[in-house]
Structure 1
């Protein structure tokens, strides 16, 4: 009996999706992901959504490049053409990504017009076709991120039908944002806040479809909350809280994966990130493109407000460099 429980525990801890960081447009770029990786070696990171056209016809270096330290890393794709998604999945694998994720949750007006994001929940058969084409072209996992419903999809049965339809095509991992998406009348920001969270619907999915990997997203802001949900689900995905309060990440490996590695202090994280920025600036990057991601690193700490003010005033300057960032950290030290 105890051996069985031990094996189950080890299997749970080794689930690649146990703790994930959400794909967030304009936020979770490669610099932000590097900052997160400084604090957690186990978290699974996701890129911002990249539409298929940008990869097939745009600057691939710009949209796909990442730091090797970011692994494990998933590329989130936006699109609805099976063949285009399949081609981009093959490219993602060649580029070195560990997973491809299909976006079926974004409520933005802009992406709806291209039949991208949450609007796809209205066409589960098309999503299943997209998944099958994508998985056929690559050996890395293809996953789907979606809402619990959209517009007039009011009942749990519609959610389950969507998941079962895509699962029948072979999908095994679903990342479920536990809010409905209203495609008309609410902005993307409002869609992250106004529709009520329904964690029970996501837990019910796992109970009724135990063979699937079910990861929950939406409203998660503490490690304790994540730990509690992991009793019933395979994984959790944190979004805005990890951006506004990045030091949340410092406890993830120890609390959720049983790591014995020492937890880095905020200053240790800051110094390592400044060294990273120095290397990036030498390659042509601008400091303010990177420094914005650490504005919340000292949230609630003495000197945190002085740190943010200094950085906001000095980082955008043309001659700003890693020493500018270090001078901002000195506001906290003093």
Structure 2
């Protein structure tokens, strides 16, 4: 299988988010944007290698370009997990060095690995030896009492010696004690200038910035200032139309653009296939609730889907009913 050069795709990416960026979410996001690089939720290497949970690798071919994010700290195990991901066709394998959850800490991976750059280097080297697709790293600027100005360049330099050229940097520290994972997404202050300084210091690296970026206007400012990519998380999930519908024209310079209404209709065959294989409607539609955020009819759209999609027998007709409220509201205000 021929894999694309992801350096262009990575100009914009949707962050890996636990419980959110599953295969149904990614299918929707790919309808909205052909160019944006999509990431799986973090999948732990032990779950794949020891637990045999290969269903966690399921995805639709339409999702390409799509990256698998792995969590782990054992080089040999990560190599095996990376090969499993590459063998099923993922375009990139990404190592999580940023998640601050208790579960991740107890497994000695995620953000705690910011303290062990040599181990991270060993991990990515083993992963690269096992696969023929690009291996990348997503990290923080530091953890706890580390001084980001000192440790981040050391981290990048150490890991890059093993041939890693693409990093995504969440521009916040992670506090492993005293803050919950949710608080770690908001409370530690953002330090965008530090990430920009890293690009100046390591011009040969492809660096993407992540954390608190909520609009394409903000993303473009970072790109115009010299960064290679921008990763957007919650804003892309909660308001996908504003971020992803315009991404292909504004970020990639292509003429692909789809309306949110057309995206809903394009989801219907996918929904029917999911239902016919034993799935439930809400497993897909929970990712569609933000499609009309801020637009007339959005409240009714969310209400109809939230209240009805988990009921037995709910199907595509419920989605069309919810969509009719949006379209009627748009007509009423002359859109």
Alignment match, 1:157: 150
Give the distance between the partners of 1:98 and 1:42, measured in 2 at CA: 13
1:195 is aligned to 2:199 = no
Alignment match, 1:316: 310
Point out 4+ residue stretches in structure 1 off by more than 6 angstroms: none
1:179-236 Cα shifts (integer Å, max 9, x gaps): 1100011011100001111110100000000011101111111111111101210101
Alignment match, 1:18: 11
CA contact (8 A) 1:150 1:182 kept: yes
TM-superposed CA distance for 1:13, in Å, is 10
CA contact (8 A) 1:178 1:202 kept: yes
CA contact (8 A) 2:42 2:68 kept: yes
SS in 2 for 1:328: helix
CA contact (8 A) 1:147 1:179 kept: yes
Cα distance 1:185–1:40, how it changes in 2: closer, same or farther (>3 A)? same
- Aligned partner (choices 130, 133, 138) of residue 145 of structure 1: 138
Alignment match, 1:276: 270
Give the distance between the partners of 1:154 and 1:128, measured in 2 at CA: 20
Alignment match, 1:222: 215
TM-superposed CA distance for 1:60, in Å, is 3.8
Cα distance 1:141–1:297, how it changes in 2: closer, same or farther (>3 A)? same
Alignment match, 2:129: 136
CA contact (8 A) 2:141 2:148 kept: no
- Aligned partner (choices 282, 285, 288) of residue 282 of structure 2: 288
CA contact (8 A) 2:7 2:206 kept: no
- Aligned partner (choices 200, 205, 212) of residue 212 of structure 1: 205
CA contact (8 A) 2:23 2:40 kept: yes
TM-superposed CA distance for 1:57, in Å, is 3.0
1:3-25 Cα shifts (integer Å, max 9, x gaps): xxxxxxxxx99623111110000
- Aligned partner (choices 33, 38, 57) of residue 45 of structure 1: 38
1:242-299 Cα shifts (integer Å, max 9, x gaps): 11001120000000111023x2111101111122111211111111111100111111
1:274-331 Cα shifts (integer Å, max 9, x gaps): 2211121111111111110011111111111011111111001011111111111112
Alignment match, 1:304: 298
Alignment match, 1:124: 117
Give the distance between the partners of 2:79 and 2:54, measured in 1 at CA: 19
The correspondence of residues 55-66 of structure 1 with structure 2, limited to 5 A, is 55-66=48-59
The correspondence of residues 53-92 of structure 1 with structure 2, limited to 5 A, is 53-92=46-85
SS in 2 for 1:150: coil
User: RMSD of the alignment, in Å?
Assistant: 1.3
SS in 1 for 2:179: coil
1:251 is aligned to 2:246 = yes
1:17-56 Cα shifts (integer Å, max 9, x gaps): 1111100000000000000000111101100000011111
SS in 1 for 2:295: coil
- Aligned partner (choices 215, 236, 246) of residue 242 of structure 1: 236
Number of residue-to-residue matches in the alignment: 322
Cα distance 1:59–1:305, how it changes in 2: closer, same or farther (>3 A)? farther
Cα distance 1:61–1:325, how it changes in 2: closer, same or farther (>3 A)? farther
SS in 2 for 1:170: coil
Q: Structure 1 length as normaliser, TM-score?
A: 0.94
CA contact (8 A) 1:175 1:216 kept: yes
**Unpaired runs of 5+ in structure 1?**
1-11
1:77-127 Cα shifts (integer Å, max 9, x gaps): 000000000111111111100000000000001110000100000000000
Single out whichever of 270-279 and 162-171 deviates more from structure 2: 270-279
